[in-house]
Amino acid sequence: MSIKILATADLHLGKSSADVSGSHASTKYTWQKIINYCIQNNVDVLALCGDIVDWDNRYFEAVGPLQRGFEELHRHGIAVYMVSGNHDFDVLAGIAGNIKLPNVHLIGAKGQWEVQKFEKDGQLVQFAGWSFPTKSVRESAFLDWGLPGYDAKYPCIGLLHGDIDKPGSEYHPFKLDELVKSEVNLWLLGHIHKPERLRQNPEVWYVGSPQAMSAKEPDGHGALLAEVSRSGMIGISQVLLSTVLYRTVEIPVSAIDEETELRDRIINALVKDGMDAENEMPELQSIVYQVKLTGEHITINEVERWTRDIIQYSQVLNRTTISVRKIYSRLRPALQKLEELALSNSPAGVLAHTILEHRKGVVTPFLGRLIADWKVKASHAYQSGTYTPLLIGRRIGPPGDQEGMNFILNECNRLLAELNGQLNS
């Protein structure tokens, strides 16, 4: 016999996956899937590592589903151990306190380390945790490290939310070394939405969000299943629960001369990829693609015109709807004498020289000035009042050099292809 623990984080109840329609895009739907998985697979404990609720203004949308879920878990004898994060630092404690269910335990309230014990058939597991006391926490909780009631005879699982090895973060910066030096056998972390194993012995995991929420969260999402044996050994496996998947597919277009051929190549690639994903992810219902065009072509503008309407494409596979949210080009002009052209003082020559130097890893003064100018204009755009409603509750960093370089080089390639077309016409 073993104790089975399903761990997840960053559910953000109250939100929905971007670019997807249907009830399955809602995190309320995901929450119910988590509950169903626990019941159907005889899970003993559901561990929640913070940001279960998305901001205080989502409280009334989240409290009903959360409470009903806790009650359903209680009826099936499933315990809940959780810590709060920066999104739900104030509301999670209120919800847990109001429903007063004996199976629901908030650990480390008010920013104090705490240990709580779970027992099943004489087998005991300890849960250690610390919860956000305020929205912003700029120092590591390990400055006040201590586990009152900890017993070294039993395995200990830590629940924590925050930024690992990111000094200066306002979302609880702590160090991997601090986790390693603790008495905890397995750390389950929240805040970073991508699931990732950071270390073995002790095991340290960002469990990730159970539902992919945007194109910034590609690949499979779900939960982590930990099984603690009577000997104290802990086995870990990932459970893919997300109904939504975001993918980027690269389409080489160098040898394509007709619109229908390009369209068929893109659609065939998406269908094949979608069928493979369906087989890998049993809960999948929607795949949202970004299509990246790669290679060289004589008429880049023509290729981009051919693909303009692909964003309207949608198709249902066996059970999954696939769609395209974005097409972007990384095409280069197919010029046989690019080196020769780069020697001229013409506008085409300047563009050709810039592209060739970049391929060698050199940023020319011309490209450097363009990137600097782009960053200024992009910063003004980011700060525009037009986009203020989209930034509520989000942080967008300043535009970076690499982002600017990608944009400028893409425009250089397009413009050079256009100039070349004019010269040859």
Averaged pLDDT for residues 170-191? 96
Averaged pLDDT for residues 213-237? 94
CA dist 168 to 173, 175, 181, 392, Å? 7, 12, 22, 21
Q: Which residues does 8 contact at the CB level (< 8 Å), separation at least 6? A: 34, 46, 47, 48, 49, 207, 208, 209, 210, 222, 223, 224
Q: With a threshold of 0.85, does the pTM exceed it?
A: no
pLDDT digits (tens, 9 = 90+) for 132-141: 999 999 999 9
pLDDT digits (tens, 9 = 90+) for 71-92: 999 999 999 999 999 988 888 8
The pairing of strands 123-129 and 114-120 is antiparallel
Q: Kindly report the CA angle at 302 between 301 and 304, in degrees rounded to 5?
A: 65
Per-residue pLDDT, 395? 52
Query: Nearest-CA neighbor of 148 among 132, 167, 162, 128?
Result: 128
Averaged pLDDT for residues 12-24? 92
Mean pLDDT score of the chain: 89
Per-residue pLDDT, 400? 83
Does the structure show a pLDDT above 50 at 374?
A: yes
Averaged pLDDT for residues 104-128? 95
Rounded CA-CA distance 331/251 in Å is: 10
